[in-house]
Amino acid sequence: MARLIDGKQVSADLKMRVKEEVAALKEKGVEPALAVIIVGSDPASRVYVNNKKKACELCGIRSVEYALEESTCEEELLALIDKLNEDETINGILCQLPVPKHINDKTVIERIDPKKDVDCFSNVNVGKMWVGDYAFKPCTPAGVMELLKAYDIDVSGKNCVIIGRSNIVGKPMAALLLEKNATVTICHSKTQNLAQICSKADIIVAAVGRAKFVTADMVKDGAVVIDVGINRSEEGKLCGDVDFENVKEKASFITPVPGGCGPMTIAVLMQNTLCAAKLQNNL
């Protein structure tokens, strides 16, 4: 039976550390600030933005929201980003994705000053991460690394399999695991013998976006299973990419959904905003 990795607790601990550092910065006259832009009224995006605002409040970070109409054109959004790039009182800029279809999300991401790109989505910051010369890391993959660290799970020399090759999770996850000396395999929709590859993994990171995709026969005894997915089951219940009930009988550690990787993403965002504030103030 696997030991449960408690993302809520690890996230709370990280946010408390950020809160202490933010308080110390404020004593030096520096107030970290995060600008969050949301375009349109997507319900899931609104939930995420509200959760980020709550986390900012908890950590003592000033949160500034820009809620734009669905009809906002790309030029207007880019002009707002330009203004925030120039605003020395704003340390981090985040544009909640997805944006409406008439706006190019890549153009938006690249417009954010890399020093304020606290999501770490820009080409500059992704490149810096791959060569190990970064200021901050992508939130979800960095959150996974924090979970592994909190439970003393050493990845050095381990066979790590990532299922999914997205720019947000799969690819940066590989970079961060490689940095810690893991042997990394990335699997995707064109991978042959996926189940066989997974069955040899010491650590599996599932980020494929398909409910209960990773089944017990794909997991070797004692493997660590990290579930990044957020899906709905046929019954409408929140679930991950892993068949939790069956896989937990074989794994040594496993993350639940919800309460595993999810809380870590926002905690790392707070950490990145703090880091950005320190860098911009030469601290």
Catalytic residue among 119, 202, 227, 241: 119
Catalytic residue among 6, 15, 96, 212: 96
Give the 3-state DSSP-derived string for the chain, with helices as H, strands as E and coil as C: CCEECCHHHHHHHHHHHHHHHHHHHHHCCCCCEEEEEEECCCHHHHHHHHHHHHHHHHHCCEEEEEEECCCCCHHHHHHHHHHHHHCCCCCEEEECCCCCCCCCHHHHHHHCCHHHCCCCCCHHHHHHHHCCCCCCCCHHHHHHHHHHHHCCCCCCCCEEEEECCCCCCHHHHHHHHHHCCCEEEEECCCCCCHHHHHCCCCEEEECCCCCCCECHHHCCCCCEEEECCCEECCCCCEECCECHHHHCCCCCEECCCCCCCHHHHHHHHHHHHHHHHHHHCCC
- Residue 171 known to be catalytic: no
- Residue 190 known to be catalytic: no
- Residue 212 known to be catalytic: no
State the catalytic residues: 52, 96, 119
